[in-house]
Amino acid sequence: MLTFLRILLTGLLGSLWDGVAAFGGVRLVNGDNKCSGRVEVLRHEQWGTVCDHGWDVQEANVVCLELGCGLAESASRGAEFGPGSGEIVLHHVQCSGHESSLTRCAVVLHSTSYCTHENDAGVRCSGTLLMPSLSLLSPHTVFSPGEAVRFRCSVLLRHHLSDFHLYKHGVSTPLVTQRADQSQIGVELTLSDVETFHQGSYSCRYSIKGGFPSQLLSSPPSKSINITVVELLTPQHWYNTSSEAPAGSVIKGQSFNITCSTLQQYPGGSFQLRLIRSNGTVRQSLPALSQSVTFTFSNAQTSNEGYYYCLYRVQLGGRTFVSRESQPLPIAVRDPDPLLSPMVISWLVSGLTFVIAVIIIITVAKVLCHKERKPSELERETRTCVDNTYVALSINKL
């Protein structure tokens, strides 16, 4: 009994294999283009037609993919592309949608149902794959470095999907790839921790399994979406005042300037100068018409004393972006030194000139006194004796 069943099973499998091996390729005939027409199958080196009983878009998709014609737009019945000739080689074709060829679908080789060439099946293929749609799940199109950008790529197709890919314009390889589930028509594609080089235009594609197990067909790209990545650099700042003022300070009543500057600039940006002092905070703002702006203080007062900070801010895409604050710039306001006033300096110069003149006069007088005639030896002796109460008589020589 077992031997009989083994022989019967072997015969059935052999017949099935012979039937499958007998088929060759698939072609479309009498259509508007190479991707539409009556479906014909090569069997025993003869082309035959396919009966439209049970013929549906699932079977038509297998044919379109096998021929590299995208996906089926319609599965035609009733010899839409005209009746064929020869044998009707396939009846009641039932495809699961994952077959690499129509000849690998389940078929009824010899059906008792009545089918003529007026029932020949046909297809209309898209020629190319359907274009996917790309949408932005994130609520905005402008981002800061380190944020995540969430896209969704979808297509009205549930079968044959393999992967979804996110591409950046100008980059040949996908930045993100997500495998598709057979029950999905779309997936989320996320760019994590974006940087400034991620700024640009994005589109998505999907790939499907083609007519051969190793073949993957790529769809056309979706419409693009642009994203902007805003990176604000920390501004630099410095101040200018009169040369008379000590470092880190300005003289009360005099003018001084504080300049804020940044290398990275966006349209509509502005600089803000923040002063932190003992009794509160004061803010000023100027539009960033260039890479730097200058805040001018014409009359320095005690209220201008404190720590100054610069920052850059800009509004883009409905969001406000603010840079980090610059390092603190301490400025003290000093009272003017009376010893350094112009009038006092004039008085000092005049007095010093007078003193120098007096010293010169005295010095000249002393020099002149020392130049008087020196006394003779006798006169010196006489003077000495007079001082000692002894008077020497001078002797006149005859």
Sequential pLDDT tens for the chain (398 residues)? 444 343 333 333 333 334 444 667 899 999 989 899 999 999 888 999 999 998 998 899 889 888 888 888 899 999 999 999 889 989 889 988 778 789 888 877 555 678 999 999 999 998 877 889 999 999 999 999 999 999 999 988 766 778 899 999 999 999 999 998 767 788 999 999 999 999 999 999 998 876 555 567 788 899 999 999 999 999 999 999 998 889 999 999 999 999 999 988 888 999 999 999 988 999 999 999 999 999 999 999 999 999 999 999 999 999 999 999 999 999 999 988 665 556 556 777 788 888 888 888 888 777 776 665 555 555 555 555 455 554 444 444 44
The CATH classification number of 236-336 equals 2.60.40.10
Q: In Å, how far from its chain's centre is CA 114?
A: 65
Helices (H), the chain: 2-22, 57-66, 342-370, 377-387
What is d(CA 315, CA 182) in angstroms, rounded to the nearest whole number?
Answer: 43
133-229 CATH pick, 1.10.3720.10, 3.40.50.300, 2.60.40.10, 3.40.50.11140? 2.60.40.10
| Paired tokens of 305 | 């004393």
**Rounded distance, CA 193 to CA 138, Å?**
14
For the chain, domain boundaries: 14-125, 133-229, 236-336, 341-387
- Give the pLDDT confidence score for residue 39 in this predicted structure: 96
- Give which of 41, 180, 211, 65 is closest to 129, Cα–Cα: 65
C-alpha–C-alpha distance, residues 277 and 282, integer Å: 8
The Cα–Cα gap between 289 and 267 comes to 9
Sign of CA dihedral 11, 16, 21, 24: positive
303, 277 contact by CB (below 8 A): yes
- How many residues does this entry show for the chain? 398
Place domain 14-125 in its CATH homologous superfamily: SRCR-like domain (3.10.250.10)
Examine domains 14-125 and 133-229 and report if their fold is the same.
no
> What would the two tokens of residue 91 be?
């009846």
Please give the structure tokens belonging to residue 353.
Answer: 């000139």
Q: What tokens were used for 290?
A: 């260039």
Query: What tokens were used for 324?
Result: 């980090």
Cα distances from 368 to residues 163, 362, 365, 373, in angstroms, run: 115, 10, 5, 11
157: its two tokens = 């197709």
- Exposed/middle/buried for 224, CB within 10 Å: 0-12, 13-18, 19+? middle
What angle (nearest 5°) sits at the alpha carbon of residue 28, between those of residues 26 and 30?
Answer: 150
Strand partners, 125: 72
Cβ contact 150:193 at 8 Å: no
